[in-house]
């Protein structure tokens, strides 16, 4: 069997630990379904799992992850819209109260866009997908004398704000936000130190959350 041994071991640890202590919760969730109040739009990056960062229990977070935590603007034309489908389900069926766009440091997608990386495959899926952050890049402006890391951080954070703007293009969601039934949030995870910052939408600044240790 070529199923990764690492996953068999991980599952064994889960079954002996977390599953045992949360068995009742799993059973209950299976019977009455999920009712998460928070939806997280995160990046595929293996270092930034929302369930780990927010110490979430099963059933607490409705998570959609894609390259660079982006949301394309609302459109009914076109073919397959994974993020829109997840939004439709999260907002329309689960009736989440919060949507958090979680950006992060050292995002490969943002780097690829900022540094105009060569397409990895003929389809250039990353290049086309990352072009969604063009409005964010425009706001940040040219790199100029900025150190690379600082420029990329600005791009990553501006992209979170741009994604929040794109969420407002979904008519039904926009209505719910204006009514106060759904609240949008931006956040940013600094991988090296595990620092979490939350966007203050009034000032446009990301403020670090002070965690009690
Ligand atoms: Zn990323």
Q: What is the mean pLDDT of residues 69-88?
A: 92
pLDDT in tens, 21-54: 999 999 999 999 999 999 999 999 999 999 999 9
Distance of CA 15 from the midpoint of ligand 1 (Å): 30
Q: Outline where DSSP puts E strands in the chain.
A: 38-43, 61-66, 98-104, 183-190, 195-200, 205-208
Distance of CA 174 from the midpoint of ligand 1 (Å): 26
Residue 194's pLDDT is: 95
Q: Is 80 exceeded by the pLDDT of residue 204? A: yes
Distance of CA 109 from the midpoint of ligand 1 (Å): 6
For a pLDDT cut of 70, what percent of the chain falls above it?
100
| 3-state SS assignment for residue 147 | coil
Distance of CA 149 from the midpoint of ligand 1 (Å): 14
Residue 21's pLDDT is: 94
pLDDT in tens, 8-19: 999 999 999 999
Q: How far apart are CA 1 and CA 105, in angstroms?
A: 37
pLDDT in tens, 105-142: 999 999 999 998 888 888 889 999 999 999 999 999 99
Distance of CA 51 from the midpoint of ligand 1 (Å): 16
Distance of CA 68 from the midpoint of ligand 1 (Å): 4
Distance of CA 104 from the midpoint of ligand 1 (Å): 6
**Nearest CA-CA partner of 161 in 195, 122, 135:** 135
Distance of CA 24 from the midpoint of ligand 1 (Å): 34
Distance of CA 152 from the midpoint of ligand 1 (Å): 12
Residue 78's pLDDT is: 77
Contact 191, 106 (CB under 8 A): yes
Residue 213's pLDDT is: 75
Q: β-pairing, 98-104 with 38-43?
A: parallel
Distance of CA 158 from the midpoint of ligand 1 (Å): 13
For a pLDDT cut of 90, what percent of the chain falls above it?
91
Cα→Cα distances 160→23, 81, 205, Å: 36, 19, 12
Residue 120's pLDDT is: 87
Distance of CA 1 from the midpoint of ligand 1 (Å): 32
Distance of CA 23 from the midpoint of ligand 1 (Å): 32
pTM (predicted TM-score): 0.95
Distance of CA 69 from the midpoint of ligand 1 (Å): 7
**Nearest CA-CA partner of 199 in 151, 149, 152, 165:** 165
Residue 124's pLDDT is: 87
pLDDT in tens, 79-103: 889 999 999 999 999 999 999 999 9
Question: Helical H runs in 47-131?
Answer: 50-53, 82-87, 108-114, 125-130
Q: How far apart are CA 110 and CA 80, in angstroms?
A: 23
With the C-alpha atoms ordered 55, 189, 203, 110, is the resulting torsion angle positive or negative? negative
Contact 33, 9 (CB under 8 A): no
Question: If you search the block for the tokens 């930034």, which residue do you land on?
Answer: 48
Distance of CA 181 from the midpoint of ligand 1 (Å): 29
pLDDT in tens, 160-202: 999 999 999 999 999 999 999 999 999 999 999 999 999 999 9
């Amino acid at each position: 069997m070529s199923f990764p041994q690492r996953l068999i071991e991980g599952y064994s640890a889960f079954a002996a630990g977390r599953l045992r202590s949360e068995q009742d919760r799993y059973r209950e969730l299976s019977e009455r379904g999920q009712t998460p109040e928070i939806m997280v739009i995160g990046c595929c990056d293996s270092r930034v799992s929302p369930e780990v960062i927010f110490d979430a229990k099963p059933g607490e977070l409705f998570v959609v992850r894609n390259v660079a935590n982006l949301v394309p603007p609302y459109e009914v034309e076109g073919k397959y819209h994974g993020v829109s489908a997840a939004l439709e389900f999260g907002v329309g069926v689960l009736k989440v109260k919060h949507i958090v766009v979680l950006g992060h440091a050292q995002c490969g997608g943002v780097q690829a866009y900022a540094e105009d990386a060569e397409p990895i495959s003929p389809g250039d899926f990353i290049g086309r997908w990352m072009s969604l952050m063009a409005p964010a890049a425009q706001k940040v402006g040219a790199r100029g004398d900025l150190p690379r890391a600082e420029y990329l951080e600005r791009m990553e954070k501006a992209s979170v704000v741009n994604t929040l703007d794109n969420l407002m293009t979904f008519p039904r969601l926009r209505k719910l936000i204006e009514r106060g039934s759904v609240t949008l949030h931006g956040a940013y995870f600094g991988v090296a130190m595990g620092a979490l910052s939350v966007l203050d939408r009034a000032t446009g600044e990301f403020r670090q959350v002070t965690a009690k240790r």
